[in-house]
Copies of this chain bind each other. A is one copy, B any other.
Amino acid sequence: MIDKRVPDVAAAVAEIPDGASVMIGGFGESGSPIELIHALIDQGARDLTVINNNTGNGGVGLAALIAAGRVRKMVCSFPRGTTETRFPELYRAGRIELEIVPQGTLAERIRAGGAGVPAFFTATSVGTPVAEGKEHREFDGRTYVMERALTADYALVKAQQGDRFGNLVYNKAARNFGPIMCMAARTAIVQVSAIVEAGELDPEVIVTPGIFVQRVVEVSDPAIESRLIAQGATYP
């Protein structure tokens, strides 16, 4: 029997080794898998390369993982949060690397990674410093840059419901990077608010088919990042 359920977030992230690349879903606080990130902080893996659109907010979730010194390199489009974080200080001190990728190029690179497309062309960033050093090429009179696919060893993603096959549906704008990160990671680990019975999710509405998911863990009442931050919470 196929059963991708794991009992808790600690078990879900237990094997992530030092040096792993980890895609972390979420855009701002929406879709941020806080409990999985906190389990990863507890677990202790270091020298991580993290792919996320931002660098977290306040002192919880991704911002806490960065503050704990576990992240060697960030790949993101906008390394700023809605609240202060320790990222700027670590970056200026040379203690964290940063690869800046335009947001749509980031999404497409991840999608390409999941779809077995090693490289593609986009007009995004042509003529800007971000395109420097990249291969340029003209198609039908317009100039494009070549971008490479992004894959990762792991993805940490938050969804709304999941089943033992790993099928997922999301909640509103929390969908964001989840579906493509599940595709692009060798091991996609997903926290869901509810695990449902096989067959309960309508095949027409499943957003991420289970083939892209390796582990599902129920976190029935996930923390809301902005509320944690308003309470002055930090982790650990």
Chain A interfacial positions (CB closer than 8 Å to B): 108, 112, 115-123, 137, 139-140, 142, 144, 148, 169-170, 172, 202-205
| A207 (CB) vs chain B CBs: closest residue | B204
Query: In the assembly, how many copies of this chain are there?
Result: 2
Chain B residues near A137: list those with CB within 8 A: 119
Chain B residues, CB < 8 A from A117: 108, 120-122
Selected from B120, B140, B169, the residue in CB contact (under 8 A) with A120 is B120
Q: Which residues of B contact A172 (CB under 8 A)?
A: 203-204
Which one of B116, B140, B204 contacts A123 once the chains associate, using CB atoms below 8 Å?
Answer: B116
When the two chains form their complex, are residues A144 and B121 in contact, meaning their CB atoms are under 8 A apart? Answer: no
Report whether A169 and B204 are in contact in the complex, using a CB–CB cutoff of 8 Å.
yes
* Residue from B116, B121, B204 in contact with A205 in the complex, judged by beta carbons closer than 8 Å: B204
CA distance A47 to B164 in the complex (A): 51
**What residues on B are CB-neighbors of A170 within 8 Å?**
204
What are 11 A-B pairs at a CB distance below 8 A? A108-B117, A112-B120, A117-B120, A118-B140, A119-B120, A119-B137, A119-B144, A120-B120, A172-B203, A172-B204, A205-B205
Most buried by B among A108, A120, A139: A120
CA distance A139 to B112 in the complex (A): 14
Q: Is the CB of B122 within 8 A of A116?
A: yes
In the complex, chain B residues whose CB is within 8 Å of the CB of A144: 118-119
Whether the Cβ atoms of B119 and A118 lie closer than 8 Å is no
Query: Besides the contacts A118-B142, A118-B144, A119-B121, what 15 more A-B pairs have beta carbons closer than 8 Å?
Result: A108-B115, A108-B117, A112-B120, A117-B121, A118-B121, A118-B140, A119-B120, A119-B139, A120-B120, A120-B121, A170-B204, A172-B203, A202-B205, A204-B205, A205-B205
